[in-house]
Homo-oligomer: A and B are copies of this chain.
Amino acid sequence: MPLPVIIKDTTPTELDEIVEKAKSASSFLKAISHEGRLMILCHLVSGEKSVTELEDLISARQAAVSQQLSRLRLEGLVIPRRDGKTIFYRLADDKPKRVLEIIYDLFCQEN
C-alpha cells in the first residue's frame, strides 16, 4: 500500500489489493502499537523469553502478559515453544524487528 504512489489510472482490482494490504498492515500495526506488546516485542528481539521472565521485565501481571502474548500469537508475530512447564516465546520472523529498529531510531535516538 504505501510508497508506490497511487496513480490515477490504478484499476479497481489493483485498488482492492492495495486496500487488502493496507488492512494487513493496519492489523500488524495495531498489534504492535499497544505499549505492553511493544515492550514485549522489544525484549524478544534479544532472544527467547519465558512468560514469567516477560512478566518481570515489563512489570505486568501474569494474565495481562499472557493475553498480550496471545494476541501477538494470533497475529503471527510470536511463536511459543514449550519446555516442561515453562513456555518460551520468540519472534516469528523479522517483521517486528525491522519495524522496531526504525521505531527505536525515531523515538530513542534522535531528539
Q: How large is the interface on A (under 10, 10 to 19, 20 to 34, 35 or more residues)?
A: 35 or more
Q: Give a binary string over A5-46; 1 marks a CB under 8 Å from any B CB, 0 the rest.
A: 110000000000011011111101110111100110111011
CA distance A100 to B2 in the complex (A): 6
> Are B1 and A108 in contact, with the CB atoms below 8 A?
yes
Secondary structure class of chain A's binding surface, majority of residues = helix
Task: Provide the residues of chain B in CB contact with A98, threshold 8 Å.
Answer: 102, 105-106
A64 within 8 A of B: no
A4 within 8 A of B: yes
Closest to A97 in B: B3
The 9 closest A-B pairs by CB, nearest first: A29-B33, A2-B104, A2-B100, A5-B46, A26-B35, A30-B33, A2-B42, A3-B104, A25-B107
A87 within 8 A of B: no
